[in-house]
């Protein structure tokens, strides 16, 4: 959203548990992913979307970049969490030359921070939304919060060309891969390590977003506390249990409880959505993010919501180029590639 130029760029997703990089190019036949790399971050490097261990992030970005063999030094990266505001606002129809001032003026009412402390961007969703109004999607984030991301990228000797929002990158990957019905909306859910990002979209715009502070890290911490082991040991045990489906008896109730909590938060978001004035009926829920793979989450969600639940496939239309993209690798990365791919596809090549 916060565009700083337009060059060949790579997608750099600085998540709270790992930094992920995607290099993609647009060919005549469509988008092709050339590389995907990921480097794990130490525990508590990023808390509520905010970088608290700067050196660890810089090291991870340098390592992931090296591993990727990417050519471009220009990146599109993203922010998420409670310091980011995404909101639809309705404005009286305004000439393009005056729009920026008008949006800025109007935004002051909606933004709970001092305007001098925030970066603001917007997109015209509908030029004619009826009654002489236009529909604008407003995106704002605190400057100091953004600056920490930009500084980490800069110190890694890369240049941020575009600063995006996780939820919007999620939608970008969805639209590139799915043909959607005009009369209904889809629920996109990215369950990360610390934050669950929800974006309800129709065929071309974000209608409703919500970030909830819940994710895979909560389950790891509960296993850690219950078994009296380190975070790292608990993480290994958890991934092993979740991928093999052989869940030790002592942690099974913890797995069920986190799935229930995630499902309840999704349901709560759909209740908020149902209370908004311009609602379209919902078709499916599309899940992604590492923690969306917690066993039984999809089933539980399906039962609770009565909607069809699918895993968002970032490779439904986007193709892969390179030997490492065998079936096993594609299956392993598909839930974590969604956001960095959405970022990479902001570039033009």
* Residues 307-336 contacting ligand ATP, CB under 6 A: 336
Q: Does 192 bind ligand ATP (CB under 6 A)?
A: yes
The DSSP code sequence of 18-71 is EEEEEEEEEETTEEEEEEEEEEEPPTTSEETTEES-HHHHHHHHHHHHHHHT-S
Taking CB under 6 A as the criterion, the residue among 2, 10, 16, 163 binding ligand ATP is 16
Instruction: Give the x/- contact pattern for ligand ATP in 117-136, rule: CB under 6 A.
Output: --------------------
Instruction: Give the x/- contact pattern for ligand ATP in 253-292, rule: CB under 6 A.
Output: ------------------------------------xxx-
Residue 242 contact among ligand ATP, Mg ion, none, beta carbon within 5 to 8 Å by kind:
ligand ATP
Site size toward Mg ion (CB under 5 A) is 2
Kindly state the DSSP code that residue 91 receives in the 8-state scheme.
Answer: E
Which of these ranges, 68-76, 180-188, 193-201, 206-214, lies near ligand ATP under the rule CB under 6 A?
A: 193-201
Q: Does 83 bind ligand ATP (CB under 6 A)?
A: no
Sequence-separated contacts (24+) of 181-186 with Cβ below 8 Å? 181/283, 183/280, 183/281, 184/280, 184/281, 184/282, 184/283, 185/279, 185/280, 185/281, 185/282, 185/283, 186/282, 186/283, 186/284, 186/285, 186/286
Helix axes 54-68, 143-155, angle to 10 degrees: 50
Taking CB under 6 A as the criterion, the residue among 136, 158, 212, 242 binding ligand ATP is 242
Taking CB under 6 A as the criterion, the residue among 239, 305, 307, 330 binding ligand ATP is 239
Instruction: Give the x/- contact pattern for Mg ion in 149-188, rule: CB under 5 A.
Output: ----------------------------------------
Sequence-separated contacts (24+) of 318-324 with Cβ below 8 Å? 318/24, 318/30, 318/31, 318/32, 318/33, 318/173, 318/176, 318/177, 318/345, 319/29, 319/30, 319/31, 319/32, 319/33, 320/32, 320/33, 321/32, 321/33, 321/34, 322/34, 322/35, 324/35
* Residues 135-174 contacting ligand ATP, CB under 6 A: none
Q: Judge contact between 11 and 346, C-beta under 8 A.
A: yes
Site size toward ligand ATP (CB under 6 A) is 23
Taking CB under 6 A as the criterion, the residue among 39, 235, 251, 337 binding ligand ATP is 235
Q: Does 340 bind ligand ATP (CB under 6 A)?
A: no
Cα–Cα dist 114/99, whole Å: 21
Cα–Cα dist 344/70, whole Å: 12
Q: Does 215 bind Mg ion (CB under 5 A)?
A: no
Residue 290 contact among ligand ATP, Mg ion, none, beta carbon within 5 to 8 Å by kind:
ligand ATP
Which is nearer to ligand ATP, 107 or 219 (by Cβ)?
219
Min. distance of Cβ 313 from ligand ATP in angstroms? 15
* Residues 91-110 contacting ligand ATP, CB under 6 A: none
Q: Judge contact between 15 and 61, C-beta under 8 A.
A: no
Residue 243 contact among Mg ion, ligand ATP, none, beta carbon within 5 to 8 Å by kind:
ligand ATP
* Residues 205-224 contacting ligand ATP, CB under 6 A: 215-217, 220
Residue 17 contact among Mg ion, ligand ATP, none, beta carbon within 5 to 8 Å by kind:
ligand ATP
Q: Does 192 bind Mg ion (CB under 5 A)?
A: yes
Cα–Cα dist 94/127, whole Å: 9
Which is nearer to ligand ATP, 11 or 15 (by Cβ)?
15
The residues of the shown chain that bind ligand ATP, judged by CB under 6 A, are 15-18, 192-195, 215-217, 220, 235, 238-239, 242-243, 289-291, 293-294, 336
**Binding residues vs Mg ion (CB under 5 A):** 15, 192
């Amino acid at each position: 959203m916060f565009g700083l130029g337009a060059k060949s760029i790579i997608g750099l997703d600085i998540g709270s548990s790992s930094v992920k990089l995607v290099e993609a190019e647009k060919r005549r036949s469509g988008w092709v992913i050339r590389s995907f790399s990921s480097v794990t971050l130490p525990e508590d490097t990023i808390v509520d979307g905010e970088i608290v261990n700067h050196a660890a992030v810089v090291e991870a970005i340098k390592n992931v970049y090296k591993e990727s063999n990417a050519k471009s030094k220009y990146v599109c990266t993203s922010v998420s969490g409670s310091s980011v505001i995404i909101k639809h606002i309705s404005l009286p129809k305004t000439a393009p030359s005056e729009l920026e001032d008008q949006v800025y003026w109007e935004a002051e009412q909606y933004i709970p921070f001092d305007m001098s402390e925030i970066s603001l961007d917007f997109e015209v969703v509908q030029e004619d939304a009826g009654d002489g109004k236009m529909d604008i999607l407003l995106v704002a984030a605190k400057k100091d919060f953004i600056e920490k991301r930009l500084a980490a990228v800069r110190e890694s000797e890369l240049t941020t060309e575009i600063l995006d929002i996780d939820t919007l990158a999620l939608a970008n990957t969805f639209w590139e891969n799915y043909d959607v019905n005009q009369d209904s909306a889809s629920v996109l859910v990215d369950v990360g390590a610390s934050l669950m990002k929800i974006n309800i979209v129709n065929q071309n715009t974000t209608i409703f977003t919500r970030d909830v502070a819940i994710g895979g890290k909560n389950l790891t911490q509960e296993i850690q506390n219950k078994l009296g082991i380190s975070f790292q040991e608990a993480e290994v045990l958890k991934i092993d249990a979740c991928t093999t489906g052989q869940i030790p008896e002592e942690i099974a109730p913890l797995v069920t409880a986190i799935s229930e909590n995630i499902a309840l938060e999704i349901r709560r978001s759909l209740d908020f959505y149902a209370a908004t004035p311009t609602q379209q009926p919902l078709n499916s829920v599309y899940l992604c993010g590492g923690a969306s793979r917690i066993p039984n989450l999809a089933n539980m969600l399906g039962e609770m919501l009565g909607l069809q639940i699918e895993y968002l496939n970032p490779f439904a239309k986007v193709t892969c180029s390179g030997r490492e993209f065998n079936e096993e690798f594609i299956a392993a990365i598909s839930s974590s590639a969604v956001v960095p791919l959405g970022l990479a596809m902001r570039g033009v090549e």
